């Protein structure tokens, strides 16, 4: 998703462990719709809930423990509402259109 800058943050999350986030950066340089999408995306990832109501889905405990034992990285998913600007497709389109 070009047109965006990305940052990398690691946080300790209770019950999960260390979590790495790669998220688009909030900037006043962004077009208003793209800015809204970025803010929603960050809220979903960092707070666990998007304004559209979507929540972060973690892999189950067994998968998380197995990943730690094997040194693998797990990913989470967020199923945004179809009209949510933070969904992968909408965010990519907004970034593409803002170039």
Residue numbers at the binding site for Zn ion (CB under 5 A): 50, 52, 54, 80, 84, 86
Nearer to Zn ion, 4 or 54 (CB): 54
Which residues lie below 8 Å from residue 12, measured CB to CB, with a gap of 6+?
18, 19
Nearer to Zn ion, 63 or 89 (CB): 89
Q: What CA–CA distance (Å, rounded) separates 92 from 99?
A: 11
User: Shortest distance, CB of residue 93 to Zn ion, whole angstroms?
Assistant: 15
User: Shortest distance, CB of residue 54 to Zn ion, whole angstroms?
Assistant: 4
User: Shortest distance, CB of residue 34 to Zn ion, whole angstroms?
Assistant: 14
Q: Which residues on neighbouring strands pair with residue 49, listed in sequence order?
A: 55
Q: Are 96 and 5 in contact (CB under 8 A)?
A: no
């Amino acid at each position: 998703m070009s047109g965006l800058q990305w940052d990398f943050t690691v946080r300790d999350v209770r019950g999960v462990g260390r979590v790495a986030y790669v998220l688009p950066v909030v900037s006043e340089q962004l077009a208003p719709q793209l800015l809204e999408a970025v803010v929603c995306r960050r809220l979903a990832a960092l707070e666990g809930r998007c304004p559209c109501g979507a929540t972060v889905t973690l892999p189950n405990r067994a998968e998380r423990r197995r990943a730690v034992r094997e040194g693998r990285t797990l990913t989470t998913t967020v199923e945004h509402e179809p009209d949510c600007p933070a969904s992968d497709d909408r965010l990519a389109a907004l970034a593409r259109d803002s170039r």
